[in-house]
Amino acid sequence: MAVARRVAEEVAADRVALVLITGDEHYPVRGSDAVLVRLAEQERLAGEGPGTDVARTARATCVGDMHEAVGRWPALAVCGPPTQVRTLQLHPLLGRGDDDRPQVLGMLALSRSQVRPFSPAETAVVGRLADLLSLMLQARALDDLAADEAGRPGGRLDEVLDPSAHVLPLAVGHLMVREGLSEDEALRFLERRASEDGRSVDDLAREVVRSRADAAEP
């Protein structure tokens, strides 16, 4: 969850949660925000809601104001979703099923307690994080399968979601939000700055993420 919390800070989200989906069961990852976990559980019981839509369509969604939009899901409205969630965005974590069709492995949720829609740049950063988490979850699944065949314990989810091994996307996201760069521009800036300083791109990316300061004017 550390990687998700860091990106949530970058896009000024108040809450973040990561929920894994297996059939009809939902499993929040340790460290997920309790309010968003409660909303996910209400949706599961109601059988409808923005997260249910994402799980069904495998497409991200943004809700500008949950208080106004909740009428779209009458059963969820009866449950009384948390008042602390106003602006919400949800991204599916996708893998591939046996038929090579998209399979929803989980969901990344971020919210704000005030009505303040996420900008396109912020949404793009969160989408990149969702893509990264999807790859990490697929890697975990492959590792667990190999572990079963080898008769050894599989990897822990907390270890798979370790941000220290995936720092470059965080640095790129930081520059996209803070400097208004595109993904390619942010990556080129890191490469150019690393070359000028005589060090690796990963080393510079760690500094950007660690300091959370502007690296320089691109």
Q: What is the pLDDT of residue 1?
A: 66
Helical (H) or strand (E) element with 109:
strand 102-112
Residue closest to 90 by CA, chosen among 77, 79, 104: 104
Sign of CA dihedral 144, 103, 73, 16: positive
List the pLDDT tens digit at each of the 218 positions of the chain: 677 777 788 899 999 998 888 777 777 887 788 899 889 888 888 999 999 999 999 999 999 999 999 999 999 999 888 899 999 999 999 987 667 778 888 899 999 999 999 999 899 989 988 888 887 777 665 444 444 444 444 444 444 444 444 567 667 766 776 777 777 888 889 889 989 999 888 888 878 766 644 433 44
Q: What is the pLDDT of residue 160?
A: 43
Task: Using only the alpha carbons of the chain, give its radius of gyration.
Answer: 18
Please state the pTM of the whole predicted model: 0.68
What are the distances in angstroms from CA 84 to CA 40, 106, 113? 14, 22, 5
Q: What is the pLDDT of residue 164?
A: 46
CATH topology of domain 2-119: Beta-Lactamase (3.30.450)
Q: What is the pLDDT of residue 170?
A: 64
Q: What is the pLDDT of residue 119?
A: 93
Sign of CA dihedral 3, 106, 95, 125: negative
Q: What is the pLDDT of residue 75?
A: 94
Q: What is the pLDDT of residue 102?
A: 80
Q: How far apart are CA 213 and CA 164, in angstroms?
A: 18
The domain segmentation of the chain, as residue ranges, is 2-119, 166-211
Q: How far apart are CA 198 and CA 110, in angstroms?
A: 37
